[in-house]
Amino acid sequence: MSLWESLKSAWQAIFSNKTRSFLTMLGIVIGVCAVVLLVSLGQGFQVSMTTTFNNMGASALYISTSTDKAVTSVRPLTLDDAEALQDKTVAPSISVVSPTLSSRVTVQYGNNSASVQATGVKPVITEIRNYQVDQGRFITDQDVSARSNVVLLGYQTASDLFGTESPVGKSIRVQGSKYQVIGTLQKMGGFGGDSYILMPLTTMQSKLTGGGNNVQQIAVEAVNSDLVDSVISEVTSILRSRHYIRSGAADDFTITDMRETLASMQATLAGFSLFMGAVGAISLIVGGIGIMNIMLVSVTERTREIGIRKAIGAKRRDILLQFLIEAAALSLTGGLVGLGLAMLGAMLMGNISLGNTTVTPVISAGIVFIALGVSIGTGLVSGTYPAFRAARLDPIESLRHE
């Protein structure tokens, strides 16, 4: 029997028992749909996290005051510390230094109000974080030196206070004081969300945090990615000296390497995606058992047919091939239906909001090929025993079977 004839025979057998074939394929349909959808969600979450880290400065280092209780004497970070890190004679590996200061504030416009994160920044922050101006302009060095009462609104803050109205040029109240809106920022999402405002660092220090020279965080970036370790060494040396930390004593500051954080997050998400795929694969195993069961029933029902085929010259390999193709066809059809349902589900879900993070399912070509390959493989494995059992039937005994 030729391969084409085996395929025709397999499809005839499947369509002659439509209801039974559908119920047999159901396990494969659910399994493939679950695997593809869960893995695509995992990959979408990975893409979202990578974008978030890139917006935060994926290659940046963030220096903050230590919260370790073992550190007995803690000196806060200051603008002077940031300026010391800009000295090329002692820190040649550092290209960008950006100090920031944050506080929770209440902002108001008319009858609308919101509690948001206010962050004081310098214009250089855009060289590290991916702030994209939507309307208006960003903070300038002149705003910083003049301690101007100006703010930029995050995407969500602009929406909460102004709705569809353009806020540029209008005034809002921050903790009761009037500030002019000079611009709005595009949606970023991520861990902090878009409910925030930016203002000049000096304005934040003098008018919202009671004066002083302190900052909460200093972001630094290396001249190139190969010098990150040198930057860590330079930062540590400079700050230990400035904070009068004795040899052997613990640092009163911490340095966070965003690359390590991103790599750790990606490894966790990869494991999570694998786990979700394994959960979906359980349905494939159940579907495979269903195919094996129905193929064994089919062998019993078609014992006489098998005997006739052997009597007129069909060989064992012909019978074996026929039943294997039938099992694979059942599984492949179920896989295609499951894949179609998964794609439809991904389209209907669109952008899923998980807190401040928006996740879009990503169905890659790799997922498609793996899902279909696994579904065909499941059918072949499940159909192997029934196929061998059919091929070993004695033709004389088979012809006597009623």
pLDDT higher for 385 or 231?
231
At residue 10 the predicted structure's pLDDT band, cuts being 50, 70 and 90, is: low
Cα–Cα dist 358/194, whole Å: 12
pLDDT at 191: 56
Give residue-wise pLDDT tens across range 220-252. Answer: 988 887 888 888 899 999 999 998 888 878 888
Is the predicted pLDDT of residue 300 greater than 70, yes or no? no
Whether the per-residue pLDDT at 178 is higher than 90: the answer is: yes
**Cβ burial, residue 392 (10 Å; 0-12/13-18/19+):** exposed
- pLDDT value for 368: 79
Flag whether the pTM goes above 0.85. Answer: no
Express each pLDDT in 101-143 by its tens digit. Answer: 998 999 999 889 999 999 999 999 988 888 889 999 999 999 9
Residue with tokens 């990959």: 43
pLDDT tens-digit readout, 181-199? 999 998 876 655 688 999 9
Report the alpha-carbon distance of residue 365 to residue 237 in Å, rounded: 49
Round to whole Å and give the CA distance between 126 and 117: 18
**Under a CB-based contact definition with an 8 Å cutoff, are residues 390 and 319 in contact?**
yes
| CA separation for the pair 58, 341 (Å, rounded) | 36
* N-terminal to C-terminal alpha carbon distance within the chain: 25
Q: Which residue has the higher pLDDT, 79 or 345?
A: 79
Q: How far apart are CA 204 and CA 101, in angstroms?
A: 7
The helix (H) or strand (E) run that includes residue 277 is helix 258-301
pLDDT band at 339, cuts 50/70/90? confident
How many Å apart are CA 145 and CA 164, to the nearest integer? 32
pLDDT score at 354: 56
Backbone angles phi, psi at 164, to 5 degrees: -90, -5
Alpha-carbon distance of 400 to 322, in angstroms, equals 22
- Residue 311: predicted pLDDT: 67
As a whole number, mean pLDDT of residues 76-89 equals 90
Residue 230, helix vs strand vs coil: helix
Tell me the mean pLDDT in the region 197-207: 92
